[in-house]
Structure 1
């Protein structure tokens, strides 16, 4: 597994340990995606949303308080796309909740699922676990077992149906007695409604809101119901809706709403209506119940809040902050307005270093409380990182008022003192973006506010800054500003690999990624031009393939294509043993052709780092200074050399993949036009490629299917198989004459080894139709 797959497997391992051993329901819910689905081992364990999962876990936590010990486990992962990972494995667990005399058997379960990677964090998008059938006999497969179970189930159902028909008349006569008993025995409010005259009878267990049960029936004004729930309840339980639903065969209707209790407080209840039908099938009466579900609803809300809140401060977490802001903007439509603040504690690392993390956490809690107190309850306040907060002011559009609010936040920071003697002063910086001026969604506003925060840090911290429209077009989405050392964030030099790798891995377009990296590095080191030259296939010339130019500097990329090395001498000899070519004054160059080539570009000083493919010079990354001489420090040289090595690795890999892809396209075109049945098989017998002629013979064949199933109708690899014979003998190819009874053809099939696009060894199968020779009578 690659690094991301390993991380995905470890993440899923943590989820299972939270569920089975720690029984940490809050942790499990926080690991779930907003769109999670979950299929468990039980018939009722089916969750199609986060709310379903919260309800099921809440019920489980109340009904069973035990836990397991995991005594065996295997976790694996496979990357499906940039952000989706398939996870699967097995777990053997032992229940630890029994007494000493209790015999406890190990429980085996299998699972599979899909994890989503977002902002560097994994979440569970889908989870399915099941228990293997311990009673399945050797050699018995699912289809046969299913047939036997189906037959047994059919016999059982016939017997049950016969008994049911025998009891039907008795049950009808007992209906009245049973419902009367229910009216008196239940703790819920149970009532009966006669459709013909509206007569209501009810038990005396509960009269919510002091209302007669008639007040809960269709077409009531529902004055006791919470105002926001009235229209929904009226729509769900109107007379027309009830009549139509029951006439269409529905067996029950239910709705949840808030209603006044006996003390004048709103409480959650669930109303359920069940029809009692006459002999003609029409419903004549309704049996209804109203159940108090307030405790369950509040517990469900607590679970939801835990998955949406930052555990330290109680503010919204990063993910839900974005959801809330986007939800408001989408609901408001074109008229949406507001201000997004990114609030950062200045030099918070120093607070942790001097005071310790426990007091650092106390400072974060104090700051979060102060921020919350300054804003309306309708505004959105979240913590998005260690020392960073986001606030969205709904409907704010007056810059003066917004600036005053930001000033109040800064004053609150200044009055926050930390430490044993309250002697450590705190300050903060704020970046502000306005909607709709700076963007219409969270991501756009966040990038602008982050740019403004960068400016505030540059100007000396302890201040706020509105976004001024001077964004950097070369920063790709997801790349944060302010990551230089002079703004109190991570050192650019110290963590350069993290930034470069993040951009390269997150980008779907290598061209944009490389250009973005050149722009970031060029601006950071304040050079005139940053560029890449790559050698031609024969190594006799080079092409300027990437270029970034600072303001006022003329681009040269169009003038520097297929530049012969013969004009500038042995160019690779200019680089030292570390792969660096450094010239602080080009007038000192002794090779005239090289000097002239640089002078015409107005270059005064330059630094170039070699690109190498398996140790062979294949181009270079360069940085020019066109305004004056420049002396490069050793730290700058070391950093730029390191960047060049990273770019070299990715560029060479990318170019190699391009060549392989082009070679594959050519090969596929050739195979598609051959008058042969040709296909490619992986080591697991799955089809990787099927040419056009083969698809004409077997239209149902698909890439990913097993060859023995698609072409031969078998459930296992064929006994006579050229690929298997080739593997057995170790030969480079193998030819066999085969008769395919399913397709009614004779073929001469030749298997041979080849390397596939991803580098794996696969089998190329070429088949010639020899039916006319084997069965001449058919022709």
Structure 2
């Protein structure tokens, strides 16, 4: 019998083994003459890279002009060139430098192929001379990763993006917008009546309603728009490249009609609809945070106007609130969010904070619900500076009969007003509170202050943070009001949430540091000068030369920086003035 040819099996890696593996992996080799800026590819080219030119003169330019590299990956090439040339400085001491990257190169018919590139650059006296590299396709690997990521990013019930993926994509898109060129719209969509359907018809029925919402939302918007489910029955959409407000409203009217149903089960019928809040880029904000807060406020307005409608944000929404007549049936006027807030404020606020990821939006919305729940005229949250002990208003909600107190005409009386309220604060089972059901019963001086502000009743609660006081939250009315225990309990709970979760603990530290630096700079000026509050003409700071001359020394040394800090935090215009009363500039 004739012996079969014997195959030589390599005992270790050899050139033959490497060549065979290389053929399977289809490496493309190239040489980049950095002195003359030309790239030559080593032939024969692997099948996947057959569309690339074999020789490329003026390579660093053609990579851009011929779109050989995907536009989003061009910064990788820019970083490589910057790292080897170092703006002409001979700072590179090694003879070679290695680099690797994953980017997309042009394939055929204008499409791009994911590739992994390795490159070795040779230097002569710090000057890059030539680079050798190889490139292999990782298209299958990248497509698999993208499919897995897309699957992980999708909500299985609605087919829309999950909350984290939607927010991430929207943030990236908004950061790439140019205010003078791009226009977009953020839509916050919330179901009306979903909880009743879920409670009465069951969770499986409710899941079907949410799935239908998802299908309808997907079908009503473009593939380029970003669509996500960010809560149980709350959805967020970012419309790109849109400027026609009337066109948006017509489109949303069609969506409202498509999702307006009467669901039936077991002989019972329940209505279902949606409400939509709209914020426009750049008119209503240039960041995700601002657009979401304004869309959220517009959504609240749509709910308060009767639901089943879309409302575009207007700045006046923060000063106006829709009145709720006492004669109406509470079941038909107070929406489900109001009832959820009343039943379990802590859970509602924490869920809202989780969904918005914005302390400001959470505080503003919770204040509006608290104001509606107790028929209040004004709610204010004041922060306390831990260094100076002075208060400043940080958040304000105004009801239909209330008025904002942020104008300069109230500046002179602000401290007296705060003293009137906080001097009466005392410990109670509901925290440290100050309560007055009729300000006409106060001492004459305080009653006069209350009359100036149109304040007839109030309840304030200190915001604790451990053993410290972060500020206070207060509710006010323009009429005498019975302060119920339920209101005090709500204030106390809200104050705990503010002190431990919602209010940042170090918001005044950066400002304090800047003001300390400003005071130090002013003290080292050779010329006597001082700082005025432009609204009240009150001297809030005098520099060291001015204090030495005995002029314009408003308070004791320990209080000068406190005054400067307080007036800056309150948002007042500050005016720097010389000893000759010549105004230099605004600070």
Counterparts of 1:203-222 in structure 2 under 5 Å? 206-208=46-48, 210=50, 214=54, 219=59
Q: Is the 8 A contact 2:262 2:272 kept in 1?
A: yes
Matched, 1:486 2:337: no
Contact 2:279 2:292 in 1 (8 A): yes
Q: 1:325·1:380 contact (CA, 8 Å) conserved in 2?
A: yes
For residues 494-527 of structure 1, the C-alpha deviation after alignment (integer angstroms, 9 at most, x for no partner) is 233457889999xxxx9xx999988875565334
Relative to structure 1, the CA distance from residue 330 to residue 269 in structure 2 (aligned partners, 3 Å threshold; closer, same or farther) is closer
Q: Is 1:229 paired with 2:77?
A: no
Residue 346 of structure 1 deviates from its aligned partner by: 0.8
Q: Distance in 1 between matches of 2:160 and 2:488?
A: 43
Match of 1:343 in 2: 189
Residue matched to 2:308: 462
Q: CA deviation at 1:301?
A: 1.5
Query: 2:28, 2:136 within 8 Å by CA — same for their partners in 1?
Result: no
| 3-state DSSP of counterpart to 1:333 | coil
2:178 aligned with 1:322? no
Candidates 384, 402, 407, aligned match of 1:551: 402
CA distance 1:218–1:229, change in 2 (3 Å):
farther
Sort the Cα spacing of 1:248 and 1:432 in 2 relative to 1 into closer, same or farther, 3 A: same
Q: Distance in 2 between matches of 1:385 and 1:522?
A: 24
Is 1:312 the equivalent of 2:157?
Answer: yes
SS for the counterpart of 2:318 is coil
Aligned partners of 1:624, 1:199: CA distance in 2, in Å?
A: 77
Q: Which residue of 1 aligns with 2:8?
A: none
In structure 2, distance between residues paired with 1:253 and 1:564 = 66
Question: Corresponding residue for 1:187?
Answer: 24
* Partner Cα separation in structure 2 for residue 256 and residue 646 of structure 1: 53
Deviations 1:288-340 (A, max 9, x none): 65534222101221343345443433322333333333333332322231111
Aligned partner (choices 176, 182, 187) of residue 331 of structure 1: 176
- CA drift at 1:412: 1.8
C-alpha change, 1:289 and 1:373, in structure 2 (3 Å) is: same
Shift in alpha-carbon separation, 1:202–1:190, aligned structure 2, 3 A = farther
Q: CA deviation at 1:343?
A: 0.9
Superposition pairs for residues 601-616 of structure 1, below 5 Å?
Answer: 601=450, 606=457
Structure with larger RCO (C-alpha < 8 A, sep 6+): 2
Once residues 401 and 467 of structure 1 are traced to their aligned partners in structure 2, the CA distance between those partners, rounded to angstroms, is 16
Contact 2:97 2:122 in 1 (8 A): no
Q: Secondary structure at 2:179's aligned position in 1? A: helix
Deviations 1:456-507 (A, max 9, x none): 11111111111122132799xxxxxxxx9813215333233457889999xx
Counterpart residue number, 1:448: 294
Alignment match of 2:487 (pick from 633, 636, 640): 640
TM-score, normalised with respect to structure 1: 0.42
CA distance in 2, matches of 1:334, 1:584: 49
- State yes or no: 1:356 paired with 2:202: yes
Distance change in 2, residues 1:461/1:190 (3 Å): closer
Whether the 8 Å CA contact 1:191–1:213 is kept in 2: the answer is: no
Which stretch has the larger CA shift, 545-554 or 265-274? 545-554
1:417-464 alpha-carbon deviations (Å, 9 max, x no partner): 676899765311111111222111111111111111111111111111
Task: Report SS of the residue matched to 1:489.
Answer: helix
List gaps (5 residues or longer) in structure 2: 1-12, 34-38, 86-91, 322-331, 383-389, 465-471, 506-587
For the Cα contact (< 8 Å) 2:277–2:299, is it kept in 1?
yes
CA contact (8 A) 2:52 2:106 kept: no
Residue 235 of structure 2 aligns to a residue whose secondary structure is: strand
CA contact (8 A) 2:378 2:402 kept: no
Change in CA separation of 1:188 and 1:310 when aligned onto 2, cut-off 3 Å: same
In 1, Cα distance between the equivalents of 2:216 and 2:313? 24
Instruction: Determine the C-alpha separation between the residues in 1 that align with 2:251 and 2:350.
Output: 38
The 8 Å contact of residues 207 and 213 in structure 1, kept in 2 or not, is answered as: no
Secondary structure of residue in 2 paired with 1:426: strand
Note the alpha carbon deviations across 1:577-609, whole angstroms, 9 max, x for none. 99999997889x7xxx76996588458975768
Question: Could you list the per-position Cα deviations for residues 619-642 of structure 1 after superposition, in whole angstroms to 9, with x for gaps in the alignment?
Answer: x99866544x65x4xxx7122221
Tell whether the 8 Å contact from 1:255 to 1:272 is kept in structure 2 after alignment: no
- Matched ranges for 1:51-200 at <5 A: 179=15, 182-185=18-21, 186-190=23-27, 200=42
Can you list the C-alpha shifts for 1:13-61, whole angstroms capped at 9, x where unaligned? xxxxxxxxxxxxxxxxxxxxxxxxxxxxxxxxxxxxxxxxxxxxxxxxx
C-alpha offsets along residues 367-410 of structure 1, whole Å, 9 cap, x if unaligned? 11211221122122121111111111112222211111111211
SS at match of 1:340: strand
Distance 1:465 1:497 in 2: 28
Q: Secondary structure at the match of 2:286?
A: coil
Name the Cα RMSD after superposition.
6.3
- 1:437 match: 283
SS, match of residue 308 in structure 2:
coil
Select which of 383, 391, 395 maps to 2:229. 383
1:355 to 1:218, Cα distance in 2 relative to 1, 3 A: farther
Distance 1:381 1:252 in 2: 38
Does residue 336 of structure 2 align to residue 495 of structure 1?
no
Counterpart for residue 526 of structure 1: 375
CA distance in 1, matches of 2:391, 2:103: 67
Give the conservation status (yes or no) of the 8 Å contact 2:113–2:139. yes
Residue 334 of structure 1 aligns to a residue whose secondary structure is coil
- Stretches of structure 1 lacking an aligned partner (at least 5 in a row): 1-176, 476-483, 534-542, 614-619, 658-779
Counting matched residue pairs gives 427
CA contact (8 A) 2:70 2:112 kept: no
- Counterpart CA distance in 2 for 1:208 and 1:523 is 65
Structure-1 separation of matches of 2:257 and 2:443: 59
Cα displacement (A) at 1:250: 2.9
